[in-house]
Amino acid sequence: MARTAAPGSRERILRSAGELFYRHGVRAVGMNQVIDAAGCGKNLLYTHFPSKDDLVTAYLRGCRRERERAGAAAAEGLPDDPATRLRALVAEIAATATAPDFRGCAFRLYLAEFPGDAGEPGRVARDYLRDTRAEIDALVARLGVTDPGRLADRIWLIVEGLYGSAGRPDAAAAAETATGLVDDLLAAER
Amino acid sequence: MARTAAPGSRERILRSAGELFYRHGVRAVGMNQVIDAAGCGKNLLYTHFPSKDDLVTAYLRGCRRERERAGAAAAEGLPDDPATRLRALVAEIAATATAPDFRGCAFRLYLAEFPGDAGEPGRVARDYLRDTRAEIDALVARLGVTDPGRLADRIWLIVEGLYGSAGRPDAAAAAETATGLVDDLLAAER
DNA sequence: AGGATAACGGACCGATCGGTCCGCCGACGA
DNA sequence: TCGTCGGCGGACCGATCGGTCCGTTATCCT
């Protein structure tokens, strides 16, 4: 044995690839571009990620982890009140969507690019959306309002709109609009 | 001269290409697939559309014409009342989004696939979104509410959400939710 | 110092991309 | 009936795709 493998290489490659995938779209980015951006050899890339699908799957899984981390951070220290948690959830998305290089929800963008994808990346993307929707449903259910289904549908619609407006000039306005509208909806139900 | 050119060929090709582009995404569809689907030769295709960009531009222009036609049909016979017109506008989008093979707004899907596209297709897509937004702004302005900007932002957000939910299981619920929410917003402003 | 090895980076593979060109067939007019 | 021309469809082009393989270099341990 002579050298020890660089431990951060996998994460470095994944970060470079993720930036490219997110900015330009998955299909638009070739493996050679990933290699150039990561500054690694083909060997190393294909050792860590045997195929592009594996790399894309890892990219989406990373996005999910990041989203969950951000969501947990936004909820931290808050009282376990469903209304407060819902407001924080939407506010966190709104804040994320206001970032200058925000181009939209990575999962929705992926599904827009690969509509019927039955592979692992598509599964990861759909799972995330399903689980996020379920999270909102659970919070709304705890509110004890008369029609939780309707309210959850409305909040979900607003979240979709928030993500949909991303990357266009309306993004900043959409963020304020979404938080304000959710606030109003919650206030009206109380 | 011996034969006269088949007059419907351009439209037939465009329709086949449009279905493929919409269903699978623009980048995922190759020119050979378009040729196979249209049942024509390469000659005819490239005579009508010298490049893929031209074909995509024509596809998006066709989508715009179709959207405008549907919007006009939905508004036809209605009183020229801004609230009624707004409700009809959202209801028309909701009805469109409920169609079984609806996958989302063609322009938003295109922009998701080609984020920074500076070419003609990107221009057509962005123009459509800008003009549709302006249409909502104009209608809301005519309502005479105290904060037209806020209401227009909210309605636009709902429209974005409606399009964003498309192609997923939530599409049908989103349609009802959007129309109901817009109704409530308009009723509250009155 | 010397040898083992991780990793860079390019040659290479078959497939497919958008796009060009042409041979052939079949329908129509003279 | 025969010549002409529109259009089908495939051969072909260079570029690029995802992916494999290997020669070289740089680095660390013995």
Domain boundaries, chain A: 7-50, 61-189
- Residue B130 neighbours by CB under 8 Å, 6+ apart: none
- Residues A25, A109: contact at Cβ < 8 Å? yes
Q: Above 70 in pLDDT, residue B161?
A: yes
CA closest to D27 C1', residue: A3
Beta-carbon-side half-sphere exposure of residue A93 (alpha carbons within 13 Å): 26
Mean pLDDT estimate for chain B: 95
**Shared fold status for A7-50 and A61-189:** no
C-alpha distances (whole Å) from B41 to each of B3, B37, B81, B172 are 17, 11, 50, 40
CATH architecture of A61-189: Orthogonal Bundle (1.10)
Best CA proximity match to A27, nearest among A109, A136, A146, A135:
A109
Token output for A65: 């982890």
Residue type, B82: P
Q: Select the residue of B27, B164, B173 nearest A164 (Cβ to Cβ).
A: B164
Q: Above 50 in pLDDT, residue B48?
A: yes
CA atoms of B41 and A21, how far apart (whole Å): 35
Beta-carbon-side half-sphere exposure of residue B97 (alpha carbons within 13 Å): 30
Q: Above 60 in pLDDT, residue B3?
A: no
C-alpha distances (whole Å) from A141 to each of A77, A91, A102, A144, B95 are 21, 19, 31, 6, 28
User: Within 7 Å: CB of A13 and strand C?
Assistant: no
- Find where tokens 């169609």 sit: B99
DSSP string, chain A: ---PPPTTHHHHHHHHHHHHHHHH-TTT--HHHHHHHHT--HHHHHHH-SSHHHHHHHHHHHHHHHHHHHHHHHHTTS-S-HHHHHHHHHHHHHHHHHSTT--S-HHHHHHHHSTT--SHHHHHHHHHHHHHHHHHHHHHHHHT-S-HHHHHHHHHHHHHHHHHTTTSTTHHHHHHHHHHHHHHHHHHH-
- Residues A99, A117: contact at Cβ < 8 Å? no
Report residues 43-72 of A contacting strand D, contact meaning Cβ closer than 7 Å.
Answer: 43, 46, 50-53
User: Within 7 Å: CB of B7 and strand D?
Assistant: no
**pLDDT at residue B2 in the model:** 45
CA closest to C26 C1', residue: B3
CA atoms of B9 and B6, how far apart (whole Å): 6
Helix (H) or strand (E) holding B38: helix B31-38
- Residues A174, B129: contact at Cβ < 8 Å? no
Q: For residue B118, how many other CB atoms are within 10 A of its CB?
A: 8
- Residues in chain B within 8 Å Cβ distance of A163: 164
Whether B111 and A167 lie within 8 Å, measured CB to CB: yes
CA atoms of B8 and A148, how far apart (whole Å): 52
Tens-place pLDDT, residues B116-153: 999 999 999 999 999 999 999 999 999 999 999 999 99
Tens digits of pLDDT across chain A (190 residues) = 445 667 789 999 999 999 999 999 999 999 999 999 999 999 999 999 999 999 999 999 999 999 999 999 999 999 999 999 999 999 999 999 999 999 999 999 999 999 999 999 999 999 999 999 999 999 999 999 999 999 999 999 999 999 999 988 889 999 999 999 999 999 998 7
CA atoms of A6 and B155, how far apart (whole Å): 52
Q: Which residue of A has its CA nearest to B103?
A: A115
- Residue B153 neighbours by CB under 8 Å, 6+ apart: A170, A173, A174, A176, A177
Interface of B with A (CB under 8 A): 23-25, 27-28, 103-104, 108-109, 111-116, 129, 133, 150, 153-154, 156-165, 167-168, 170, 173-174, 176-178, 180-181
- Residues in chain B within 8 Å Cβ distance of A136: none
Beta-carbon-side half-sphere exposure of residue B161 (alpha carbons within 13 Å): 32
Token output for B167: 């192609």
Q: How far is B165 from chain A (nearest CA, A)?
A: 7
**Å between A1 CA and D13 C1'?**
49
CA atoms of B105 and B84, how far apart (whole Å): 23
| The CATH number, out of the four listed (1.10.10.60, 3.30.365.10, 3.90.209.20, 3.40.120.10), of the domain defined by the range A7-50 | 1.10.10.60
- Residues B66, B93: contact at Cβ < 8 Å? no
SS (H, E, C) A1-55: CCCCCCCCHHHHHHHHHHHHHHHHCCCCCCHHHHHHHHCCCHHHHHHHCCCHHHH
Tens-place pLDDT, residues B92-104: 999 999 999 999 9
Beta-carbon-side half-sphere exposure of residue A8 (alpha carbons within 13 Å): 5
- Residues in chain A within 8 Å Cβ distance of B163: 164
